[in-house]
């Protein structure tokens, strides 16, 4: 009977659908674990196909390729391995953890609790497994719950009742600001079982989701005895010994918890980096307006990809101020990005000439403003098409919520790092990034965003003297109302009861619903908060419901 174990937690970053590439990553991690003297290597949930694979799970060819990859791992030499993969059996599809040892598949266990809320829709593609059963491996009774299985109590308690001594838990647990507290609260519900746990999480970005890694081990009392770094790949070992009180972790690394604004920033950078690199783009190009949103987007991109892969383009019109010119160039220089100026005023005037007769007798309004934005979008897409960098959209969550953005204009792009960041949070992140000790990734250290960009009143500069507050309440008010409407699903009456103007709340609710058609056509962006626009929040585009009824005005 085994009395000592060295377990390698391999928090890796798969590419969804790249089964050969993920197989090679698994082999490399196993080789590293062998070098470290590990007895067992644990990969994240569904690692060989990647998570979330969505409807790839429905393709028989993908499932067959994953089984072939598992069989290839079984033929390899090395420590025992727990691999995550989809598994077809008896006409059903399962989310499986497969134990491989000594040249064979020793056991397969299926996920029972299939999440079907928020960003998850596993019931669409998987069948629920049977009641959890432990695995006897080298004299040790291992429980192999998979991710959601330990967020609820049924699987841990069933495993404990059947003699499990140690939980080994493969995960693909997406990051969000509240995730550390949520994990601690959920897993503590079965802490009375006094069973230690090795929890191994995916690391990396996949479309709108970011996986933070941050894998850890708990002892029998729920105390953390190991933690791997957050927001990066890592292979770390933990040493365990069997005592008369059960399994005890004797030695393991303890990386610091990444939290607060640094966690927000690293999630944005990781999500952007993996979206760009996994989709084969050489870099990004973005409009650099001299405003805080484009400045922050460029800074995130530089930290994610390196300044040499960021191309900032100022596209002035007749309304662009001198300080915007100065601020845009200054910011690009501080970041280290390529900076160019493309004068779009001739194109704007050309559209005016083309539409002169069609628009005759009408007063200028948002039509002409949107033409300016769309001309800029055309210019950026032309650079992308000609030279290959992905267009990075720069709008924030406040703007996307109320539709303060132009379809086929400033909404153009392949990805938006700020999509789940409210305007007030944009300012907080900009100030944080300028601090000397801020995390910088591949970017330059220290101040990268000029203070004047942070301090000045935001403006789209589409007409003389324009500011955002011409048509929106102050961002502190707007964001508080939006957070209540979006994240907490509160009614306008509940919000107004806290002191907000009832008409303003009703107007914002109306703008939120009416802008749904724009958000459906917006590029993806990494989830940061409790509920993002995308996988988290699915409202109909055609939607007449309003909790606050009021006469609509044309300006709405």
| CB-based contacts of 406, cutoff 8 Å, min separation 6 | 369, 370, 373, 374, 377
- Among residues 260, 255, 186, 237, the alpha carbon closest in space to that of 42 is found at 237
Query: What is the DSSP secondary-structure string of 312-356?
Result: EEE---TT--HHHHHHHHHHHHHHT-EEEE---HHHHHHHHHHTT
Look up 71 and say whether it is catalytic.
no
111 is catalytic: yes
Name the catalytic one among 66, 106, 122, 147: 147
Longest Cα–Cα distance of the chain, Å, equals: 90
8 A C-beta contact, residue 215 and residue 180 = no
Active site (annotated) includes residue 45: yes
Q: Phi-psi category of 446—alpha, beta or left, where left has phi over 0 and alpha has psi -120 to 50?
A: left
Cis peptide bond upstream of 122, omega within 30: no
Looking at 25, 45, 165, 331, which residue is catalytic? 45
Strand 216-218 relative to strand 224-227, pairing: antiparallel
How many Å separate Cα 373 from the centre of its chain? 27
Catalytic residue among 25, 111, 518, 531: 111
- Per the structure block, which two tokens stand in for 132? 């959890």
d(Cα 265, Cα 215) in Å, to the nearest integer? 19
Between vectors from CA 475 to CA 492 and to CA 495, what angle results, nearest 5°? 15
DSSP 187: H
Q: Are the C-beta atoms of residues 209 and 420 closer than 8 Å to each other?
A: no
Active site residues: 45, 111, 147
């Amino acid at each position: 009977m085994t009395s000592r174990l060295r377990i390698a937690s391999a928090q890796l970053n798969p590419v969804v659908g790249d089964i050969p590439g993920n197989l090679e990553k698994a082999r490399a991690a196993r080789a590293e674990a062998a070098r470290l003297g590990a007895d067992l290597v644990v990969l994240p949930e569904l690692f060989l196909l990647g998570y979330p694979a969505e409807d790839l799970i429905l393709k028989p060819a993908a499932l067959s390729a994953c089984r072939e990859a598992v069989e290839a791992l079984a033929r390899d030499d090395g420590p025992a391995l727990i691999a995550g993969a989809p598994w077809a059996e008896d006409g059903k599809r399962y989310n499986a953890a497969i134990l491989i040892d000594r040249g064979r598949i020793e056991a397969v266990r299926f996920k029972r609790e299939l999440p079907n809320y928020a960003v998850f829709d596993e019931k669409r593609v998987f069948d629920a497994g049977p009641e959890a059963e432990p695995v006897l491996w080298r004299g040790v009774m291992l429980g192999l719950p998979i991710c959601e299985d330990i967020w609820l109590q049924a699987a841990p308690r069933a495993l404990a009742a059947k003699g499990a001594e140690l939980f080994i838990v493969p995960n693909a647990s997406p990051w969000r600001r509240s995730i550390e507290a949520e994990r601690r609260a959920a897993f503590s519900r079965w802490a009375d079982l006094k069973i230690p746990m090795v929890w191994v999480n995916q690391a990396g970005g996949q479309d709108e989701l970011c996986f933070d890694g941050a894998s850890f081990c708990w002892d029998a009392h729920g105390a953390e005895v190991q933690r791997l770094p957050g927001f990066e790949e890592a292979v770390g070992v933990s040493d365990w010994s069997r005592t008369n009180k059960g399994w005890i972790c004797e030695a393991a690394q303890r990386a610091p918890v990444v939290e607060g604004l640094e966690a927000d920033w690293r999630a944005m950078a990781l999500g952007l980096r993996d979206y760009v690199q996994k989709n084969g783009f050489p870099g990004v190009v973005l409009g650099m307006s001299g405003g805080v949103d484009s400045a922050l987007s460029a800074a995130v991109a530089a930290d994610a990809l390196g300044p040499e892969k960021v191309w900032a383009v100022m596209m002035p019109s007749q309304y662009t101020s001198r300080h915007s010119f100065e601020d845009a160039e200054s910011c690009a220089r501080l970041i280290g990005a390529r900076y160019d100026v493309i004068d779009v005023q001739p194109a704007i005037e050309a559209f005016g000439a083309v539409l002169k007769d069609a628009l005759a007798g009408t007063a200028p309004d948002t039509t002409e403003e949107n033409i300016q934005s769309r001309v800029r979008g055309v210019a950026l897409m032309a650079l992308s098409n000609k030279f290959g960098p992905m267009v990075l959209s720069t709008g924030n969550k406040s703007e996307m919520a109320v539709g303060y953005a132009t379809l086929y204009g400033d909404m153009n792009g392949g990805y938006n790092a700020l999509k789940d960041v409210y305007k007030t949070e944009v300012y907080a992140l900009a100030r944080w990034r300028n601090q000397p000790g801020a995390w910088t990734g591949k970017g330059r250290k220290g101040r990268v965003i000029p203070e004047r960009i942070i301090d000045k009143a935001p403006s789209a500069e589409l007409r003389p003297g324009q500011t955002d507050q011409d048509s929106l309440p102050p961002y502190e008010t707007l964001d508080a109302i939006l957070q209540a409407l979006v994240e907490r699903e509160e009614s306008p009456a509940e919000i107004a009861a806290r002191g907000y103007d009832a008409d303003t709340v009703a107007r914002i609710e109306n703008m939120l619903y009416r802008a749904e058609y724009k958000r459906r056509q917006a590029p993806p962006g990494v989830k940061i908060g409790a509920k993002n626009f995308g996988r988290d929040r699915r409202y109909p585009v055609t939607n007449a419901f309003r909790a606050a009824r009021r006469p609509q005005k044309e300006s709405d």
